[in-house]
């Protein structure tokens, strides 16, 4: 008997190809395979092999990367929901439904297409994320990670995979190589997978910002994220036909102290743009209070301040350009702003 041999009472032809090769013992029993038959098929030198507790590979050779991933998820999935849906669509192969389990860590990053992580062929372990109260042990090549609240998985190659910020946090938790951490965090931002704030939020939640090599990597990440956001801001002005502002300036009252730095400023309309590139760390509340105080002070002087986040610039540039254009057009209806001195930001 091989994985191509129909099983009674329910044949395997309704399954997608990989799910004809990786099945749980519960699924095999549902196909009429008794315990004794299963033991016979999985005997040393037999045609099948048990790759994980309760998970059987229906051939004798080494598992492929795809088989290893599906086997790991089948092992970790909530037992009350089998790895194969109970109601197939007519004429369509089944797709696995892995309840309360997803790939995370380095394996997830490889699936997301990261080049700064080892390829799946070089990874001897697969991390799976499950709810905290699940009674499940780390075993074989599968490491079980628990969380109070599962994130919404991304579907990658038909597999539930943790979002990049969460996968990064789970990977970084096991790394001591500062260079490797920095490269992974940098690729997350450069590759457009996520913004620095979402990464730092997950690293904070995982209590990883007490590690000096992680803090150093985060500082580089935030700086790089700001540089990328500035490039997007330049592009927004150019591509959406906004008048040229003065860039990266410091405003001062004549003979007075600094009013604060701005990323873009239109002196004739008294409109400013400030990129909100704060990283959500413990001092975030104090930093936001500083942002708010500066904004209120400038607006009392008649200067309109538009706050834009890197995420909004990346995902809705046209909408952000419309906000700035509206502020510029409305300047004629406002009282003249106070005179301020505009200097290059140091």
Confidence at residue 212, expressed as pLDDT on a 0 to 100 scale: 92
Q: What are phi and psi of 342, to 5 degrees?
A: -105, 120
According to DSSP H, which parts of the chain are helical? Answer: 25-30, 35-41, 65-76, 105-111, 164-172, 178-190, 196-205, 212-239, 284-300, 310-315, 317-329
Asked, as a colleague might, if the bond just before 28 is cis with ω within 30 of 0, I would say no
Q: What is the pLDDT of residues 260-317, one digit of tens each?
A: 899 999 999 999 999 887 655 544 555 556 777 888 889 899 999 998 988 888 889 9
Q: What is the spatial distance between Cα 143 and Cα 123, in angstroms, rounded to a whole number?
A: 12
Q: In the structure encoding, which two tokens stand for residue 227, read together?
A: 């540089």
Q: What is the reported pLDDT for 15?
A: 46
The candidate with the shortest Cα–Cα distance to 110, out of 174, 175, 51, 156, is 156
Positions of the chain with pLDDT lower than 50, given as ranges: 1-15, 80-94, 282-283
Out of 3.40.1130, 3.30.70, 3.40.960, 3.40.50, select the CATH number for domain 240-344: 3.40.960
**pLDDT confidence of residue 8:** 40
48: left (phi over 0), alpha (psi -120 to 50) or beta: beta
What is the Cα–Cα distance from 316 to 314, expressed in whole angstroms?
6
* Listed residue (147, 148, 190) closest to 167, CA to CA: 147
- The pLDDT assigned to 247 comes to 96
For position 346, what pLDDT does the model report? 67
pLDDT at 263: 94
Q: Where are the domains of the chain?
A: 1-96, 102-227, 240-344
Of 170, 171, 153, 172, the closest CA to residue 162 belongs to 153
């Amino acid at each position: 008997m091989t994985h191509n041999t129909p099983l009674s009472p329910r044949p395997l032809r309704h399954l997608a190809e990989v799910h004809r090769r990786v099945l749980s013992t519960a699924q095999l029993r549902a196909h009429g395979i008794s315990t004794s038959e299963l033991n016979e098929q999985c005997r040393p030198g037999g045609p099948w092999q048990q790759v994980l507790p309760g998970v059987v590979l229906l051939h004798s050779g080494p598992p492929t990367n795809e088989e290893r991933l599906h086997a790991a998820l089948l092992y970790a999935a909530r037992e009350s929901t089998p790895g194969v849906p109970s109601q197939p669509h007519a004429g369509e192969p089944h797709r696995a439904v892995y309840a309360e389990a997803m790939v995370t860590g380095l394996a997830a990053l490889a699936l997301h297409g990261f080049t700064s992580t080892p390829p799946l062929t070089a990874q001897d372990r697969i991390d799976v994320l499950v709810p905290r109260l699940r009674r499940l042990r780390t075993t074989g090549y599968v490491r079980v990670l628990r969380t109070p609240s599962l994130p919404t998985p991304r579907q990658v190659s038909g597999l539930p995979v943790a979002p990049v910020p969460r996968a990064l946090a789970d990977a970084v938790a096991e790394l001591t190589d500062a260079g490797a951490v920095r490269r992974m965090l940098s690729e997350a931002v450069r590759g457009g997978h996520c913004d620095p704030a979402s990464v730092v939020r997950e690293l904070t939640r995982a209590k990883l910002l007490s590690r000096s090599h992680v803090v150093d990597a985060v500082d580089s990440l935030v700086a790089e994220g700001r540089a990328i956001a500035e490039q997007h801001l330049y592009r927004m002005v150019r591509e959406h036909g906004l008048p040229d502002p003065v860039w990266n300036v410091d405003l001062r009252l004549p003979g007075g102290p600094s009013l604060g730095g701005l990323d873009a400023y239109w002196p004739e309309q008294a409109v400013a743009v400030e990129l909100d590139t704060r990283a959500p760390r413990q001092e975030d509340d104090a930093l936001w209070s500083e942002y708010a105080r500066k904004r209120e002070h400038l607006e009392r002087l008649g200067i309109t301040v538009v706050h834009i986040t890197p995420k909004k610039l990346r995902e809705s540039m046209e909408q952000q350009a419309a906000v700035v254009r509206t502020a510029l057009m409305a300047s004629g209806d406002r009282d003249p702003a106070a005179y301020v001195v505009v200097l290059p930001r140091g």
